[in-house]
C-alpha cells in the first residue's frame, strides 16, 4: 500500500492568461498532500479572484490534472494532453456550458510541491475559442 502524506501548509501561486489580456496572478496560502496516487493542492479563493466563498482543489497525477471548484462557483475542469472536456461552470448568476481543449501540459510535481503549466482553448457555445494559459506553483512552507 502506498504511503499517504500528511497535509502540509503551502503557498500556491496561480497565474492565468486569456487571449491578449495580461496575466492575472493570485498568491494564497493553502494545503498540499498526496492520497490514492494523486497530489492535491487546495485553497480558498479570495475576493481578488472574484470567486470568494469558493474552495479550489487541484487533483494532480503524472498525465494530467483536474481543477475542482466548490462553493459560490462550482465546476470541474479536466486537463489531459490532446483531450477535450465539456464542463458546466455554475455561478450565483446561472450556469455556462464551456468546452476546453488541452493543447499542451507540463507537470513537475513531487512530495515537496512543484509546478503545473497548461495551455488550452476554452469556448462557450458558438463562440470562437479563447487561448488560455494557466501556471500553478506549489511551494511547501518550511
pTM here is: 0.87
Percentages (nearest 5) of helix, strand, coil residues in the chain: 0, 70, 25
Domain at 12, CATH number: 2.40.128.20
Find out whether 54 and 45 touch, Cβ atoms under 8 Å. Answer: yes
> Which is more confidently placed, 4 or 14?
14
What would the grid cell of residue 72 be? 459560490
Residue range of the domain that includes 80: 8-140
Interval 25-61: pLDDT, tens: 888 999 999 999 999 999 887 665 666 678 999 999 9
Split into its structural domains, the chain has a count of: 1
At CB < 8 A and 24+ separation, what contacts does 126-130 make? 129/101, 130/18, 130/19
From CA 52, how far away is CA 19, in angstroms rounded? 24
Task: Please give the average per-residue pLDDT across 108-129, as a whole number.
Answer: 92
> Which is more confidently placed, 95 or 116?
116
pLDDT band of 24, cuts 50, 70, 90: confident
User: Is 108 inside any structural domain?
Assistant: yes
User: Is 104 inside any structural domain?
Assistant: yes
User: Is 69 inside any structural domain?
Assistant: yes
Pick the closest to residue 14 from 138, 100, 131, 108 (CA basis): 138
Which residues on adjacent β-strands are paired with residue 43? 30, 56
Amino acid at each position: 500500500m502506498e504511503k499517504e502524506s500528511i497535509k502540509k501548509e503551502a503557498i500556491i501561486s496561480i497565474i492565468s492568461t486569456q487571449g491578449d489580456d495580461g496575466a492575472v496572478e493570485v498568491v494564497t496560502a493553502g494545503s498540499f498532500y498526496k492520497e490514492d496516487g494523486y497530489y492535491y493542492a487546495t485553497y480558498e479563493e479570495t475576493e481578488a479572484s472574484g470567486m470568494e466563498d469558493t474552495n479550489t482543489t487541484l487533483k494532480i497525477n503524472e498525465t494530467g490534472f483536474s481543477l475542482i471548484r466548490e462553493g459560490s462557483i462550482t465546476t470541474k475542469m479536466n486537463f489531459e494532453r490532446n483531450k477535450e472536456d465539456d464542463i458546466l461552470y455554475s455561478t450565483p448568476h446561472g450556469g455556462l456550458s464551456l468546452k476546453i481543449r488541452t493543447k499542451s501540459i507540463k507537470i513537475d510535481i513531487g512530495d515537496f510541491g512543484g509546478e503545473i503549466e497548461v495551455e488550452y482553448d476554452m469556448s462557450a457555445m458558438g463562440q470562437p475559442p479563447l487561448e488560455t494559459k494557466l501556471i500553478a506553483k506549489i511551494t511547501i512552507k518550511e
